[in-house]
């Protein structure tokens, strides 16, 4: 049956008709629009890519130039390192075995039973076995040396090389590093070459910080992926993906901002650095640049300086556990500071040791031994010893002698004349005695001291105040105070330069005198003990530091002549007011100026300019400055010798006799000084090695109740207790001979050639000798003595 058509069916048929196809023109236009859009997109894309590529290349070229300029120039600021004097040893030197032990202890050598490594020594009563450290001296590097030093009662007898079984003509002991000169940036480092770092420390660093260092190209995708996984597991940032090369780029070139742009530049620069430079060069830069803490407000960069700060030793001498501690601190020097957080630091150190064991760098037994050790940080961690007073003088000389050649940030090395043992003991003598003497003088008592080489004038030690480490007012250089009786040797020296008229036996009068001033005032000098002795011989007047005979002698000589003598000794004429009271030291000098005066006097009249600077060497080993000590004979040798002899008598029987009871064997010379109302206490002590000047007083110039004998002399004696003096042996100059004398009833001396009491004389015209020849012999005297 056929279906009938209905209206609905018709509608349905109409609705099911296919839509009308668009015309060909419309289709063509659509395709063209699509192609146009793609073309535009492509056009924009390649231009953007090209612009981006150009930008990347431009940035790369710029960053490459920055990297190249820095790496091929001076990678980072290198401070000026200051060293003490180099100790030269040779067979026949009078140095004692204890002095050498003291030197090694100051240099932080380790005393062991059998030295096997540099920085170790052993000692018996007559010999020292020493493994001397390597060091780059001013004339070139020297390797470590294994030697035996043999001593007898006279000093160093023999130096034997244990490596070659041969005697050595000399041995140099490396100098102590004193510190670094300040520069514009508050960061310090001690540059070391790559080959100077222990390999096991480098292994520890790579195991801990960058295991793929030798495989990646500056950026390590593997390390980034490993860090992401570790951080996701922990739910926080526990591990970074930066390589050592990236860290070096960040430390040298970039800020610490945590931005994507900084991170991209860091990665880009790391790629450039890795492409341009060897892995060892990159490691050398990192090992010297990495930040590892602070000391006295200055940032400590590099493992070389950190080793000195925390352990007081060169990094080559550190144990595995000590190296592991430094490596562990890289992650956070403040957080893992072993001084403030020792437990936290030990945990980090042990983690580094454990990683080393897991990676096969350490055996299990080595790990157990290293992990069981304490941290062994220095009790008072510091880069080096602090001698601020000495450094002030050094800076003055650098400016005067080196001038524009000197730059503080290019890695210069400065060698000085400082004796580290003398400096240490002089500081400690001041620190020990001033609190004791303050019980008499009051808490405001201050002090200063300077020790100089008697022959060369080189400054061996300097202390600027009782706070020896305080970088403030330097009293040794700048405290100009009345010198009191310290001037007297210049008065007697002036007389002894006239041998036809004066000698050590010349009679002086210790009787009341009065001198009229230009304005009618009268000055009547008195002796310290208020006594008068009548007649006294010249040598005894100086030995006992008598005021009245000194003034009488000075007036005979003339004020201008004594000032001339002071000028020859190195005192500026402008410092001395030409009045009679100058004979008793009414003018002012600094301890430094006093030291110059006595250096000339006790060196047989040969003046050497006081100096601290020996040489300046650049990082390539070129000598920029070399001090050549010069001496000039400004005083007659014989007169200076006789005056020094009289100062020896001062220690034997005069104002310095306190020393004779303890150090009589050393035949010391010395001179006390006390200013008016005991405002200043002075002492100058002379042994075979040094001229040491000590001053005590108050900054407000109030009385101290201390004389030279009861104050400054006691500091010097304390110094000698720990710095064993060298015997003061004075070679007799030509023209000096001894003659016998006897005391008369009035206290004067009378020539008595056969008498046991002898005095040295400068008998220029043989007048005294002729008198002796004319005297009757001893048996004739006895015959007529009834």
If asked whether residues 638 and 758 sit together in one domain, one would say: no
Active site residue 718: no
Mean pLDDT of 353-366: 96
Do 508 and 536 belong to one domain? yes
pLDDT band of 443, cuts 50, 70, 90: very high
Do residue 564 and residue 658 come from a single domain?
yes
Q: Is 687 left (phi over 0), alpha (psi -120 to 50) or beta?
A: beta
Alpha-carbon gap, residue 265 to 532, rounded angstroms: 89
Asked if 292 contacts 301 with a C-beta cutoff of 8 angstroms, the reply is yes
Alpha helix (H) ranges present in 363-510?
364-371, 388-397, 420-441, 475-478, 488-496
Q: Does the pLDDT value for residue 356 go beyond 60?
A: yes
- Considering 176-190, 254-268, 296-310, 580-594, the range whose residues carry the highest mean pLDDT is 580-594
The pair phi, psi for residue 692, each rounded to 5°, is -115, 125
Task: Tell me whether residue 152 is in a domain.
Answer: yes
Which of 99, 103, 187, 209 is flagged as catalytic? 209
**Does 41 have pLDDT greater than 80?**
no
| Domain membership flag for residue 296 | no
Least trusted range by pLDDT, from 96-110, 167-181, 378-392, 662-676:
378-392
**What pLDDT does 73 receive?**
67
> For residue 408, what pLDDT is reported?
72
Domain count, the chain: 3
Is 489 in the same domain as 539? yes
- CA atoms within a 13 Å half-sphere pointing along the CA-CB vector of 781: 9
pLDDT score recorded for residue 8: 47
CA distance 35 to 50: 22
Q: Residue 260's pLDDT band (boundaries 50, 70, 90)?
A: confident
**Are both 602 and 745 inside the same structural domain?**
no
Contact 445, 434 (CB under 8 A): yes
pLDDT bracket for residue 234 (50, 70, 90): low
pLDDT tier at 768, thresholds 50, 70, 90:
confident
Cα separations in angstroms, 284 against 187, 281, 352, 440: 18, 5, 21, 58
Residues in contact with 161: Cβ distance below 8 Å, sequence separation at least 6, in sequence order: 145, 146, 147, 167, 168
Residue 48 has pLDDT above 80, yes or no: no
Average the pLDDT over each of 30-44, 417-431, 473-487 and give the range with the smallest value. Answer: 30-44
Flag whether pLDDT at 28 surpasses 80. Answer: no
The verdict on 608 and 740 lying in the same domain is no
Q: Which of 504, 507, 511 is nearest to 534 (CA)?
A: 511
Do 746 and 718 lie in a common domain?
Answer: no
Q: Are residues 551 and 445 in the same domain?
A: yes
Please check whether residues 702 and 762 belong to one and the same domain: no
Looking at beta carbons, which pairs linking 642-645 to residues 24 or more positions away fall under 8 Å? 642/496, 642/503, 642/504, 642/736, 642/760, 642/762, 643/489, 643/492, 643/493, 643/496, 643/542, 643/601, 644/601, 644/602, 644/604, 644/669, 644/686, 644/730, 645/504, 645/539, 645/669, 645/730, 645/760
What is the widest separation between alpha-carbon atoms in the chain? Answer: 195
Task: State how far the Cα of 302 lies from the Cα of 189, in Å rounded to an integer.
Answer: 6
Condensed to tens digits (0 to 9), the pLDDT of residues 696-734 reads 999 999 999 999 999 999 999 999 999 999 999 999 999
Sign, CA dihedral 43-45-46-51, equals: positive
Pair (710, 577) in one structural domain? yes
d(CA 643, CA 601): 8
413-416 and 445-453 as β-strands: parallel, antiparallel, unpaired?
unpaired
Element (H, E) at 46: helix 24-71
Q: Is the pLDDT of residue 212 over 80?
A: yes
Q: How far, in Å, CA of 173 to CA of 85, rounded?
A: 9
3-state secondary structure of 551: helix
Helix (H), strand (E) at residue 320 = helix 320-329
Which of 146, 174, 202 terminates a domain? The answer is: 174
The residues, any chain, with a CB within 8 Å of residue 479's CB and separated by 6 or more, are 448, 473, 590, 591, 695, 697, 699
Cβ atoms 466, 423 nearer than 8 A: no
pLDDT per position as a tens digit, 125-163: 999 999 999 999 999 899 999 999 999 999 999 999 999
The encoded tokens of residue 251 equal 């430390």
Q: Quick check: 583 and 554 in contact, CB under 8 A?
A: yes
Query: Looking at the domain assignment, is residue 639 inside a domain?
Result: yes
User: Where do the DSSP E strands lie in 395-537?
Assistant: 413-416, 445-453, 459-463, 481-482, 507-510, 515-516, 522-523, 534-537
**Residue 209 annotated among the catalytic residues of the structure:** yes
pLDDT per residue over 468-524, tens digit each?
888 889 999 999 999 999 999 999 999 999 999 999 999 999 999 999 877 778 999
pLDDT at residue 201 in the model: 96
The residue ranking higher by pLDDT, 1 or 386, is 386
Residues 691 and 768 in one domain: no
Q: Could you tell me if 171 and 89 are in contact, meaning their C-beta atoms sit under 8 angstroms apart?
A: yes
**Considering the entire predicted model, what is its pTM?**
0.86
| Catalytic member of 408, 485, 545, 627 | 485
Cα–Cα distance between 682 and 703 in angstroms, integer?
13
Contacts of residue 187, Cβ cutoff 8 Å, sequence gap at least 6: 77, 298, 299, 300, 301
pLDDT at 574 over 70: yes
- With pLDDT > 70 as the criterion, what percentage of the chain qualifies? 88
Q: Is residue 74 part of a domain?
A: no
Residues 634 and 678 in one domain: yes
Q: Considering 174, 195, 219, which residue would you say is the last residue of a domain? A: 174
Please answer whether residues 608 and 457 qualify as being in contact, where contact means their C-beta atoms are separated by less than 8 angstroms: yes
- Name, of 463-472, 523-532, 601-610, 731-740, the range with top average pLDDT: 601-610
Which helix (H) or strand (E) segment holds residue 128: the answer is strand 127-132
- What is the C-alpha separation between 644 and 655, in angstroms, rounded? 15
Taking the C-alpha atoms of residue 266 and residue 254, their distance in angstroms, rounded to an integer, is 7
Tell me if 754 is assigned to some domain. Answer: yes
Least confident of 236-245, 491-500, 708-717, 738-747: 236-245
Q: Give the model confidence (pLDDT) of 362-411 as tens digits.
A: 999 999 999 999 999 988 887 766 789 999 999 999 999 988 767 777 78
Cβ-proximal residues to 99 (8 Å cutoff; 6+ apart), any chain? 421, 724
d(CA 497, CA 640): 8
In a domain, 617, yes or no: yes
Residues 541 and 653: beta-carbon distance below 8 Å: no
> d(Cα 538, Cα 503) in Å, to the nearest integer?
7
pLDDT, residue 779, reads: 39
Tokens representing 222 are 């593997």
Q: Which of 129, 152, 174 is the last residue of a domain?
A: 174
CATH of residue 134's domain is 3.30.2060.10
Minimum mean pLDDT among 241-245, 287-291, 318-322, 382-386: which range?
382-386
Which residue range(s) make up the domain with 131?
A: 90-174
The larger pLDDT score, comparing residue 785 to residue 19, is at 19
Rounded mean pLDDT of the chain?
89
Q: Examine the pLDDT at 669 and tell me if it is beyond 90.
A: yes
Q: Is 653 inside a domain boundary?
A: yes
Q: Is residue 671 part of a domain?
A: yes
Query: In 359-419, where does DSSP find H-type helix?
Result: 364-371, 388-397
The enclosing domain of 549 has a CATH number of 3.40.710.10
| Residue 446's pLDDT band (cuts 50, 70, 90) | very high
């Amino acid at each position: 049956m056929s279906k009938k058509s209905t209206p609905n069916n018709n509608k349905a048929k109409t609705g099911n008709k296919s839509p009308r196809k668009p015309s060909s023109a419309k289709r063509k236009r659509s395709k063209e629009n699509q192609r146009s859009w793609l073309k535009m997109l492509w056009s924009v894309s390649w231009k953007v890519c090209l612009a981006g590529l150009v930008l990347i290349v431009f940035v790369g070229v710029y960053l490459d130039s920055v990297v190249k300029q820095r790496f091929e120039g001076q990678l980072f600021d290198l401070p000026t390192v200051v060293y003490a004097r180099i100790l030269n040893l040779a067979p026949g030197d009078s140095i004692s075995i204890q002095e050498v032990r003291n030197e090694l202890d100051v240099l932080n050598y380790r005393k062991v039973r059998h030295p096997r490594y540099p920085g170790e020594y052993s000692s018996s009563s007559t010999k020292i076995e020493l493994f001397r450290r390597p060091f780059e001296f001013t004339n070139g590097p020297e390797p470590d040396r294994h030697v035996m030093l043999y001593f007898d009662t006279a000093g160093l007898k023999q130096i034997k090389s244990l490596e070659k079984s041969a005697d050595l003509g000399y041995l140099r002991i490396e100098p102590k590093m004193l510190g670094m000169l300040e520069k514009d940036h508050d960061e310090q480092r001690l540059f070391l070459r790559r080959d100077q770092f222990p390999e096991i420390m480098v292994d520890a660093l790579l195991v801990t910080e960058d295991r793929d260092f030798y495989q990646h190209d500056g950026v390590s995708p593997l390390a980034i992926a490993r860090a992401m996984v570790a951080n996701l597991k922990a739910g926080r940032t526990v591990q970074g993906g930066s390589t050592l090369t990236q860290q070096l780029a960040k430390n040298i070139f970039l800020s610490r901002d945590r931005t994507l742009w900084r991170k991209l530049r860091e990665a880009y620069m790391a790629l450039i650095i890795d492409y341009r430079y060897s892995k060892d060069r990159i490691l050398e830069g990192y090992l010297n640049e990495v930040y590892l803490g602070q000391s006295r407000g200055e940032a400590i960069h590099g493992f070389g300086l950190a080793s000195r700060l925390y352990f007081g030793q060169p990094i080559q001498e550190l144990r595995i556990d000590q190296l592991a501690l430094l490596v562990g601190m890289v992650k956070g020097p403040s957080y893992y500071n072993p001084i403030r957080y020792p437990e936290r630091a030990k945990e980090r150190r042990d983690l580094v040791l454990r990683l080393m064991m897991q990676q096969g760098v350490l055996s299990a037994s080595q790990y157990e031994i290293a992990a069981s050790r304490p941290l062994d940080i220095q009790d008072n961690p510091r880069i080096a010893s602090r001698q601020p007073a000495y450094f002030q003088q050094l800076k003055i000389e650098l400016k005067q002698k080196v001038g524009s050649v000197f730059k503080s940030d290019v890695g210069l090395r400065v060698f000085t004349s400082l004796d580290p043992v003398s400096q240490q003991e002089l500081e400690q003598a001041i620190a020990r005695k001033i609190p004791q003497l303050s019980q008499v003088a009051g808490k405001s008592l201050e002090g200063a001291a300077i020790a100089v080489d008697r022959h060369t004038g080189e400054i061996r030690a300097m202390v600027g105040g009782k706070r020896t480490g305080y970088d403030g007012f330097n009293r040794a250089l700048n405290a100009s105070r009345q010198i009191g009786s310290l001037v007297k040797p210049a008065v007697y020296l002036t007389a002894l330069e006239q041998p036809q008229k004066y000698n050590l036996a010349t009679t002086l009068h210790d009787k009341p005198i009065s001198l009229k001033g230009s304005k009618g005032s009268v000055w009547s000098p008195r002796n310290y003990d208020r006594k008068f002795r009548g007649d006294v011989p010249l040598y005894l007047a100086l030995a006992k530091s008598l005021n009245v005979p000194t003034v009488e002698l000075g007036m005979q000589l003339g004020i201008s002549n004594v000032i001339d003598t002071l000028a020859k000794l190195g005192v500026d004429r402008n410092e001395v007011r030409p009045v009679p009271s100058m004979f008793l030291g009414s003018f002012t000098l600094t301890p430094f100026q006093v030291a110059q005066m006595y250096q000339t006097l006790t060196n047989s009249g040969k003046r050497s300019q006081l100096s601290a600077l020996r040489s300046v060497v650049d990082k390539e080993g070129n000598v920029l400055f070399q001090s050549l000590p010069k001496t000039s004979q400004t005083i007659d040798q014989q007169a200076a010798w006789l005056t020094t002899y009289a100062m020896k008598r001062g220690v034997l029987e005069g104002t310095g006799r306190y020393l004779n009871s303890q150090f009589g064997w050393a035949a010391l010379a010395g001179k006390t000084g006390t200013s008016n109302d005991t405002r200043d206490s002075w002492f100058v002590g002379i042994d075979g090695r040094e001229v040491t000047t000590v001053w005590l007083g108050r900054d407000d110039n109030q009385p101290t109740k201390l004389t030279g004998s009861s104050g400054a002399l006691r500091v010097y004696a304390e110094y000698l207790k720990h710095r064993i003096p060298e015997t003061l042996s004075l070679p007799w100059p030509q023209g000096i001979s001894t003659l016998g004398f006897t005391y008369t009833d009035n206290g004067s001396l009378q020539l008595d050639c056969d008498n046991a009491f002898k005095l040295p004389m400068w008998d220029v015209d043989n007048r005294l000798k002729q008198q002796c020849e004319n005297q009757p012999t001893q048996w004739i005297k006895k015959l007529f003595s009834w």
